[in-house]
């Protein structure tokens, strides 16, 4: 029933993905460690136990102590988050101490003034979205900068120019799949439209995919290529947004009304805040490309820019006739 509250959201797919990953890890640990060392694990350890431990570890570990440096720090990990703290300066550091700095010390400091007897807070992570905060820590913030949606764009293997497009993407630090985090109230991520133009490149614009243009094509794609190409990216994104919005079982207006209720359970409130945030971002993306589609006739395209460079068209778009 709780998962139904986040139906259609990216949080749901992420949550299910994490649960599948943890199940796989538990199966390996159970077979290779727990069952093989019954003397060390005389009691029964269930998947729910393992999932709880995974959640505790994920929510309490400090960013600098992940990966190979994974460690928990009792007491320090009890400190709570405060969204009012917006300092990007880290609230903790790990440093050497003692003779020749052989001892490692974890130092915690507050970025704000604190009076005697007041609780100390830190900022967990300014870059996490509400969906990430919900998954890792079990709370959300009423802050539009936390509302985001990750657009996943991919070069289709069925594309007749698949190899060329993949080569161009890789030459410019990207790949077959690209992820773009769009934040509510902010402009589109850099290179998103450039990558979209590459995805939709075809027809009479396919000449840009030839080896002759390989080192310059990305530069060309940073500006409108043709009306057809620009219209394609607008339609692709608008259709994707409409499809994503249709997967939610409530509207933004219905969610906002629900948030005004005083009898909301905390987990239900988290679900509503995440899904309404995602929907607002999707509508924002849709509006950007809808407006862009209405401006297609006013854009300057590759052929026009090229003719200007060659001196055949003036700055006002007039054809220049050269006398012999």
Positions marked active-site: 124
| pLDDT of 131 | 96
**Domain extent listing, the chain:** 62-78+84-122, 144-309
Give the DSSP H or E segment for 97.
Answer: strand 92-97
| pLDDT of 140 | 95
Report which of 63, 82, 86 is spatially closest to residue 73, judged by C-alpha positions.
63
- Strand 92-97, strand 103-108: pairing: antiparallel
Give the Cα-Cα-Cα angle 132, 135, 139 (nearest 5 degrees).
Answer: 85
Q: From CA 98, how far away is CA 83, in angstroms rounded?
A: 35
We find that the CATH architecture of domain 144-309 is Alpha-Beta Complex (3.90)
| pTM of the predicted structure, to 2 decimals | 0.86
The number of CA neighbours under 13 Å toward the Cβ of 229 is 27
Report which of 193, 188, 190 is spatially closest to residue 281, judged by C-alpha positions.
188
Q: How many CB atoms lie within 10 A of CB 91?
A: 19
Please provide the distance, in angstroms rounded to a whole number, between the alpha carbons at the two ends of the chain: 79
Per-residue tens of pLDDT for the chain, all 324 residues: 888 899 999 999 999 999 999 999 999 999 999 999 999 998 999 999 999 999 999 899 887 778 888 888 898 888 899 998 887 677 788 877 766 667 788 888 888 888 999 998 888 888 899 999 999 999 999 899 999 999 999 999 999 999 999 999 999 999 999 999 999 999 999 899 999 999 999 999 999 999 988 989 999 999 999 999 999 999 999 999 999 999 999 999 999 999 999 999 999 999 999 999 999 999 999 999 999 999 999 999 998 888 777 675 666 656 555 555
């Amino acid at each position: 029933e709780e998962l139904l509250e986040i139906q259609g959201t990216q949080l749901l797919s992420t949550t299910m993905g994490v649960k599948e990953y943890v199940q796989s890890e538990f199966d390996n640990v159970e077979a290779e460690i727990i069952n093989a060392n019954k003397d060390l694990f005389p009691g029964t350890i269930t998947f729910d136990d393992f999932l709880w431990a995974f959640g505790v570890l994920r929510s309490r570990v400090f960013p600098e102590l992940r990966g190979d440096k994974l460690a928990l720090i009792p007491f320090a990990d009890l400190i709570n988050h405060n969204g009012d703290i917006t300092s990007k300066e880290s609230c903790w550091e790990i440093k050497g101490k003692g003779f020749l700095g052989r001892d490692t010390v974890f130092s915690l400091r507050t970025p704000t003034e604190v009076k005697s007897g007041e609780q100390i807070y830190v900022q967990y992570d300014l870059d996490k979205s509400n969906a990430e905060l919900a998954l890792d820590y079990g709370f959300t913030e009423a802050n539009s900068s936390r509302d985001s949606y990750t657009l996943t764009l991919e070069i289709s293997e069925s594309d007749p120019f698949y190899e060329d497009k993949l080569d161009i993407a890789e030459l410019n630090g990207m790949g077959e799949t690209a992820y773009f985090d769009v934040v509510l109230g902010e402009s589109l991520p850099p290179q998103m439209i450039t990558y979209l133009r590459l995805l939709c490149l075809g027809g009479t614009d396919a000449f840009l995919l030839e080896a002759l243009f390989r080192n310059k094509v990305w530069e060309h794609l940073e500006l409108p290529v043709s009306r057809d190409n620009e219209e394609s990216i607008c339609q692709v994104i608008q259709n994707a947004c409409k499809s994503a919005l249709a997967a939610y079982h409530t509207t933004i207006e219905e969610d906002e009304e629900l948030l005004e209720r005083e009898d909301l359970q905390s987990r239900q409130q988290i679900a509503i805040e995440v899904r309404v945030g995602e929907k607002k971002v999707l509508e924002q993306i849709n509006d950007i490309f809808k407006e862009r589609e209405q401006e297609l006739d006013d854009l300057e395209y590759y052929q026009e820019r090229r003719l200007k460079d060659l001196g055949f068209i003036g700055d006002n778009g007039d054809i220049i006739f050269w006398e012999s």
